[in-house]
Amino acid sequence: MDYPWTCAGCGGTHQGLIDLACGKPEHWPGAEDKAPNSALDPNGNFLSEDFCVLNGQHFFVRAMLELPIRGSDGRHFGFGVWSTLSRQNFVRYVETFDSGAQDGLGPWYGWFSNRLKGYPDTLSLKCEVHPVSGRQRPHVLLEPTDHPLAIDQKNGITFDRLLELYAINGHDMKTSLSD
């Protein structure tokens, strides 16, 4: 599935499997207008592509939650999501962000900060945030529970389930597969 396909949902052309992303934490009250990372204000309200701060008290980082695709030789489907961090861990993450040297940091405890379509309520699931070096988004590992998203992260999803998630989120690939 590495060829281009036209999405019946959004009308766009995509290449291969795509990840889906949440533009902001669920708690962010405003629009998804992003400021540059260099304008970060840890004492106010701030949203960029990578960081979010609410009232100088709640800190979020953009991360990646991966679901293995069963029978695909190690391929993963990713959700770009947000997780909370403590102020201390947020500051450590921001301080090392530009250098990209973050493998020695974490894992850090966090709260999953998005509601994902296609799953029962995912907001505030317990998780670990695992920083990754090389200016890659950190990985989110959900606490092992009986929540369907945690089960899918552990056991993987079928290609049919992936197609279903795409369709639920406005990217219907099924018509492209039949062409």
Instruction: Give Cα separations from 129 to 39, 165, 169 (angstroms).
Output: 23, 23, 24
Position 47 in a domain = yes
How sure is the predictor about 178, in pLDDT bands with cuts at 50, 70 and 90? low
Residue 14 has pLDDT above 70, yes or no: no
Asked if residue 169 belongs to a domain, the reply is no
Within-domain flag for 3:
no
Residue 165 lies in a domain: no
What is 71-120 written as a DSSP string? TSSS-EEEEEEEEEE-HHHHHHHHHHHTTT--TTS--EEEEB--PPTTSS
Question: 113-117, 131-135, 155-159, 174-178: which range is least confident on average?
Answer: 174-178
Q: Which amino acid is at 4?
A: P
Number of domains in the chain: 1
33, part of any domain: yes
Domain annotation covers residue 176: no
Q: Is residue 148 in a domain? A: yes
* Residues β-bridged to residue 44: none
- Estimate to the nearest angstrom the gap between the alpha carbon of 141 and the chain centroid: 11
Cα of 28 vs its chain's centroid, Å: 15
Residue 174 counted as domain residue? no
More confident residue, 134 or 152: 152
Q: Inform me whether the pLDDT recorded for 177 exceeds 60.
A: no
Residue found by looking up tokens 């991360």 in the block: 63
- The whole-number average pLDDT for the span 33-61 is 95
78: containing domain: 20-157
CA–CA gap between residue 139 and residue 131 (Å, rounded):
6
